[in-house]
Amino acid sequence: MATTSATTSRIQLRSALETLRRIRRDDEVIITTMGSAREWMTLGELHDLDFILVPSAMGHGTSIGLGLSLAQPDKRVIVCSGDGSLLMNLGSLASIVAANVPNLAVIVFDNGVYEVTGQQPTAAAGVGRPDGRSADYSGIARACGFESVHAFNDDTTWADAARTVLDAKGPTFISLNVEPVVGGTSPHSPGPTAARAKRFMEALRR
């Protein structure tokens, strides 16, 4: 079942992540990559189950999320992916459906550009495409077999529905239409990798 906001506005990335941080349950794993990782780290103290994929292999957040959701079936795993990153690994959506992981949610922050490398339009953005139409990520997810697909274009609708959408049986695909962050830079590592990994593994065992 799809939920779509009625407006054509766009969500501020920071605001979208603030909603996720506010509703996040203490036992949920949240994987952030690229622009979402950069903004997530500015919102306050990090949780032990925050998986900040920096440095990152761009595009592999969804694959890592799939592996974690299979290994930790009692933990909900939420992947925050950029649209450019998802384009590099669209096949992971089919793999997620094939694995039938009810505890995995993929949130795609669609701003139409490769934000941290200079705001270049992605190949899926309407700008530069002959027909001017952007690729439909929700449609792609449905074609891969996702049954729980949701799209949001405004802060209020996303904030009101986020917890309900994430609590539903997955795998779940959520597309958020977000504004690019002007002047957005590449994210930096939040600290020593070994120490973060140790805290993460200890939190998984709780």
Place of tokens 């909900």: 76
Q: Which residues pair with 11 in a beta bridge?
A: 178
Mean pLDDT (whole number) for 184-193: 79
Assigned domain for 6 exists: no
- Residues 187, 193, 197: CA angle, nearest 5 degrees: 115
Residues of the domain holding 169: 11-204
Phi, psi of 128 (to 5 degrees): 90, -10
Which CATH number characterizes residue 149's domain? 3.40.50.970
pLDDT in tens, 143-152: 999 999 999 9
Number of domains the chain is built from: 1
Q: What is the pTM of this model?
A: 0.90
Assigned domain for 160 exists: yes
Q: Are 119 and 112 in contact (CB under 8 A)?
A: no
Percent of the chain with pLDDT over 70: 95
* 103 closest CA partner among 138, 79, 137, 139: 79
- Angle at which helices 61-71 and 91-99 cross, to 10°: 10
Assigned domain for 2 exists: no
pLDDT at 7 over 50: no
Assigned domain for 3 exists: no
Assigned domain for 152 exists: yes
pLDDT in tens, 70-101: 999 999 999 999 999 999 999 999 999 999 99
Phi, psi of 114 (to 5 degrees): -85, 90
Cα–Cα distance measured from residue 96 to residue 127, given in angstroms and rounded to the nearest whole number? 29
Residue 182, pLDDT score: 79
